[in-house]
Amino acid sequence: MKILVTGGAGFIGSHLVEELLRRGKEVFVLDNFSTGGRENIEHLLPDPHFHLTVDSILNEETVEKLMKECNEVYHLAAAVGVKLVMERPVETLETNVRGTEIILKYANKYQRKVFIASTSEIYGKHKDHSLKEDDNRVMGTIRKRRWAYACSKSLDEFLSLAYYDEYKLPVVIGRYFNTVGPRQTGAYGMVVPRFVQSALKGDPITVHGNGKQSRCFTYVSDVVKATLALMDHPRAIGDVFNIGSEEEITIKDLAKKVKKMTKSSSPIIYIPYDKVYGKRFEDMERRKPDITKIRRLIRFSPSYNLDQILKLIIEYYRKKLR
């Protein structure tokens, strides 16, 4: 079995590639290192079953060549992270929309099964209850650049399901909720690596906004296992699934927990959103998934709680900072 992973040098992608290789697959990675990096997959380069192509998913010739070679596709390549979305909006929209168009076009040409990595961002400002896959979405004004990312990923989902409905292309869509773990960078606004690195260095732990916004964090190995299990299940085809944890915490309490677990003397400070991202930013107050659907289909349940996750990430960055 030959597998194509777009964005395979990224945070989640590199962990997915490792697990595929461990399961005896031959893996082809397409990545331009825009948000991922060679260091994430450097240890895999000697493996004869691992193949790296450094190029963009916008290069149709490259995509077609790899698609023809492989049996299945995991499409994880995307412009990600709040900071990147706010600073490079054109790149975000072109990569996420046009890139997915190209992947689906050639997957359909060669009839390859495709996993589309989507995001909890597509729910927008919905906050009344745990988010179910068929809930209505609540998008903010187009004047707030944050929602461009959410809309681009929504288009990816619409197009994927259109290919399934019209051409019977086997697609599976997974909406990731705040995945965390080793190799994740804080460079694009990801909160857990930012907090942990600041705490270990003794730098101020900076909370954006008032810290009352809440999130649910899932360890990357749980996300990878769920992704692979969905691709292996025939009833997942043509459907959408939340992949995440139901353990909810405010960002303010997360900062306090990180400070306590690292035994850090770092002060916790609060910075208004517009000082960090500019005036065209708006945040979500709450983002908690309902995982009933994926639990019923593949018996998914996260293996790690938040304390265990933070302990693993703190240990990772302690070693890294040494």
User: What is the pLDDT, as a whole number, of residue 261?
Assistant: 98
Answer whether 49's CB lies under 8 Å from 95's CB.
Answer: no
CATH code: domain of residue 124: 3.40.50.720
| CA angle 195–200–206, rounded 5-degree value | 30
pLDDT of amino acid 34: 85
- Mean pLDDT across the chain: 94
pLDDT band at 81 (very low <50, low <70, confident <90, very high): low
DSSP state of 267: P
**DSSP letter at 94?**
I
Q: What percent of the chain has pLDDT over 90?
A: 80
**186 domain-assigned:** no
pLDDT digits (tens, 9 = 90+) for 34-65: 888 899 999 999 999 999 999 999 999 999 99
Do 158 and 277 lie in one domain? The reply is no
Q: Please tell me the distance from the alpha carbon of residue 8 to that of residue 66, in angstroms, as a whole number.
A: 13
Q: Which residues are catalytic?
A: 149
Residue 313 CA to residue 193 CA, distance in Å, equals 8
pTM of the prediction? 0.94
Over residues 256-277, the pLDDT tens digits come to 999 999 999 999 999 998 887 7
**127, 266: one domain:** no
Q: What is the pLDDT of residue 226?
A: 98
Q: How many domains does the chain have?
A: 2
Q: How confident is the model at residue 189 (pLDDT cuts 50, 70, 90)?
A: low
- The contacts of residue 312 (CB under 8 Å, 6+ apart) are 181, 182, 219, 304
Q: Is 265 part of a structural domain of the chain?
A: yes
On the question of pLDDT at 88 being above 90, the answer is no
Alpha helices in 168-285 (DSSP H): 191-201, 220-232, 251-262, 273-277
CA separation for the pair 97, 13 (Å, rounded): 19
As beta bridge partners, residue 117 has 174
DSSP designation for 98: I
> pLDDT per residue over 25-42, tens digit each?
999 999 999 888 899 999
Q: What is the mean pLDDT of residues 287-294?
A: 97
205 and 135 fall within a common domain:
no
> Helix, strand, coil shares of the chain as percentages rounded to 5?
45, 20, 35
In this predicted structure, what is the pLDDT of residue 126?
84
For residue 36, the cross-strand partners are: none
For residue 309, the domain's CATH number is: 3.90.25.10
pLDDT, average across residues 240-269: 98
Q: How far is CA 99 from CA 6, 27, 135, in A?
A: 10, 20, 26
* Domain, as residue range, for 35: 2-181+218-246+291-298
Integer Cα distance of 61 and 52 in angstroms: 16
Compute the average pLDDT of residues 107-122: 97
